[in-house]
Structure 1
Amino acid sequence: MRAVLCGYYGKGNGGDEALLATLLQMLPAQVKPLVLSGNPEETQLRYGVPACDRFSASAVLQALRQSEAFIWGGGSLMQDVTSPMSPLYYGGVMRLAQQMGLRTIAWAQGIGPLNRSLTRWITRTSLQHCTAVSVRDGGSASLVAEWGIPFILAPDPVWALEPEPVPGLWDLPAPRIAIALRPHPYLTSERLHIFTKALIDFQKATQTFVLLIPFQPIQDLAIAQTLHAALPDVSQILTLTQPRQLRGVFRGVEMVIAMRFHGLIMAAAAECRCFAMNYDPKVRQLMQELDFRGWAIDQMPSDPAVICRDWMELYANGSSLSSHQISAIVDRALIHREVLEKALVNSGASG
């Protein structure tokens, strides 16, 4: 069976690449993937699977004609906060696949926010005609339940991504902390300046080495460079393009301060202490579910000393998830693999 995998792939976002790597890890052995990618050559080289241009209508149509299944491959594909174009694209390709008779799976979805009636309608209609639906958080589950659509709820599949070691990591000074920030309107230059002052004070007090990790370099690198310039001798920017290495880097880290959703998941899965900077409902829900410390970006303290004190408290006295808790979450995340197995191998139903 050939399955088309559709997500925000080939766009340089570490979290979405991690979702693709996990989906390929969980895909049943008898299913041959074909990835719709923003950079097909890079995707083929990195994962060793065929890929085609997600923006080429003829290539997408040909991929669907050659396939028996279509998978939305995880993440916040159906949301209109960034742009209404996202649900229009993903919903359009999903409905085309359904009309062509492919089995269709909405896999590990984080649905919403959906602030427009059109995007809500597109999302609901797409999901109603899916062979199988799995979601990764309670908010998405509530919305799909409200629409009366059968679904499976399980933690984000990246919890189960197999890590790989990062060459040279253990040669860097220890103990280490990691920072994973991203641009956002609430992260103003003034707030970033306050954050930087707090980080300088925290580093001096703890004598930690700071790993600056841009999850999406085209967006995040400038912030990492700003922080590195303030801590030139005690920090290093790590730009990791292999998702398993991105997952593995947190094995060598004591604590993470992150906005990036999958940065928090990867760190928590590696038994790091996590301090979250909430900019999105998915981060807020993760904080609530796992009792992470942190604050919303727009409520960040204006006094660097207060910020430093919060971080120091977590570093000195805070705890990570236990290995038992992590194992339980990973086991539940593997439910997404069962969804694929049932819909693609054990089911004779068509989408």
Structure 2
Amino acid sequence: MKSIFIFGYYGFQNIGDEAILSCIINDLRKFISNPKIKVLTYNAELTKKEHGVDTISRTGIVQVIKAIKESDLVISGGGSLLQDVTSSRSLIYYLSLIFFAKLFNKKVMFYNNGYGPVNKKLNKFFIKKILKKVDLITLRDVDSKRELEKVGLRNNNINVNVDTTFTLMSSDEKKLDEIFRIESIPFDKKIVGISPRKWRNDGRTKEVIANAIDYISSKGLNVVLIPMKYPDDLEYCNQIKEICNSNPYIIKNYYSPKDVLGIIGRCHFLIGIRLHALIFAAAKLVPMIGIEYDPKNKSFLEMVSQKNAGRIEDIEEEDLFLYIDDVLKNIDVYREILKDKTKNFKDMALKTGKMASELIDE
């Protein structure tokens, strides 16, 4: 029985990261017979309940090192784990896990990760020194590869792929009907989804989004605010609703990634700040308008040729209204573009599971 240790930003009720973990586990099980999977998480009980795997707390350092030592493969499980925008603490923590894995001569793999931004020179130095020892690196976009090359990492084992969550399956229609009933969302009009997040220019962004909601509502459409991280995004959605003149709906309860994928799949189009709201929309062929708070959003929107309303700090209400009008007018065109751009994404994402199985068997 092969033993696999997965680390990432898990147990924080972030839908995107939980979707990544769910897909990694399911994809590994497709290619590796009965793997013994242990996951590093903030909330061991929650992660064990949601994903059906053994778990270990991020704070139990001795237990973490023991788990690494007992594994056959250590996986950096998706997302942009290596970044220093907020602080260097998490970056150093994740690099330390890789360091110990290689110290114990373990196979290490980056599983469709994003990378950056990393701004501090010392952090870039550590990244180059440690990542050059990683056995296999798969990345979810070409910009991540370019940024790694800028720090001097030019390994032959770096592969550009897509985000892992393109293998996620949505909940069935019966389950989604029940969710819409619980959330009191009617079926009388088309739905526009909005996935916001709090950022530095909080007040201005909130006002722009609220006005966009009123603008969309004036066109005879229902707006549903879709939190992707609880409770942070839910609180922010409530704040936005308070300053709206219209009456948007809010997904108030925490649902599984496959439920949220299904909810977004029912949208006419989506306005998203959270990356995985955009990825979920693309997976369900829902046209989108993205707003950048991080370079990863820009990279993804370019990959799927969808509207980018610009940086969150600079977004103008009038421009956003024009983008909304354009998407509504050309909705079928944008859907066909998505269909063409994403047609191979599921197979590409699934291929990483096969690469992991080949690495662990070497």
User: Same fold judged by TM-score > 0.5?
Assistant: yes
Deviates more, 1:331-340 or 1:261-270: 331-340
Distance 2:164 2:350 in 1: 7
Q: Secondary structure at the match of 1:74?
A: coil
- Number of the residue aligned with 1:330: 346
Cα-Cα RMSD:
1.9
In the TM superposition, what is the alpha-carbon distance from 1:139 to its structure 2 partner? Answer: 1.5
SS of structure 2 residue aligned to 1:11:
coil
Structure 1 residue 208: Cα displacement: 1.7
Trace 1:96-115 onto structure 2 (pairs within 5 A): 96-115=100-119
Q: Distance in 2 between matches of 1:233 and 1:115?
A: 41
Cα shift readout 1:198-257 (whole Å, capped 9, x = no counterpart): 21121121x222221111123211221123333674423244331121222222111100
1:144-293 equivalences under 5 Å are: 144-145=148-149, 146-149=152-155, 150-165=157-172, 166-169=176-179, 171=181, 172-173=186-187, 174-186=189-201, 188-205=202-219, 207-229=220-242, 230=244, 233-293=247-307
Corresponding position of 1:140: 144
State the distance in 2 between where 1:332 and 1:65 align.
Answer: 30
1:150-181 Cα shifts (integer Å, max 9, x gaps): 21110111112122233525653231111111
* Deviating 4+ runs (over 4 angstroms): 231-234
| Contact 2:109 2:136 (C-alpha < 8 Å) held by counterparts | yes
Kept in 2: contact 1:212–1:238 (CA 8 A): no
- Asked if residue 5 in structure 1 is aligned to residue 11 in structure 2, the reply is no
The residue identity in structure 2 corresponding to 1:278 is E
- In 2, distance between residues paired with 1:39 and 1:210? 32
DSSP-derived class of the 1:129 partner: coil
SS class of match (1:265): helix
CA contact (8 A) 2:213 2:246 kept: no
Read off the aligned partner of 2:178 and give its amino acid letter.
G
Q: Offset of 1:25 from its aligned partner?
A: 1.3
The 10-residue stretch of structure 1 (34-43 or 49-58) with the greater mean CA deviation from structure 2: 49-58
Unaligned 5+ segments in structure 2 are none
Shift of 1:11: 1.2
| Cα distance between partner residues in 2 of 1:246 and 1:126 | 36
Q: Is the 8 A contact 2:305 2:338 kept in 1?
A: no
Alignment partner of 1:69 is 2:84:
no
In the alignment, residue 163 of structure 1 is paired with which amino acid? S
1:95 and 2:102 are equivalent in the alignment: no
TM-score (norm 2): 0.89
Task: Tell me, yes or no, if the aligned pair for 2:210 and 2:241 is still in contact at 8 Å.
Answer: no
Q: Whole-Å Cα distance in 2 between the matches of residues 284 and 61 of structure 1? A: 36
- Normalising by structure 1, report the TM-score: 0.91
3-state DSSP class of the match of 2:211? Answer: helix
Report the counterpart of residue 21 of structure 1 in structure 2: 22
Structure 1 stretch displaced more, 68-77 or 317-326 = 317-326
- Taking the aligned partners of 1:261 and 1:196, their CA distance within structure 2 comes to 20
1:44-71 deviation digits (Å, cap 9, x = unpaired): 0111111010111122122123222211
Q: How many residues align?
A: 342
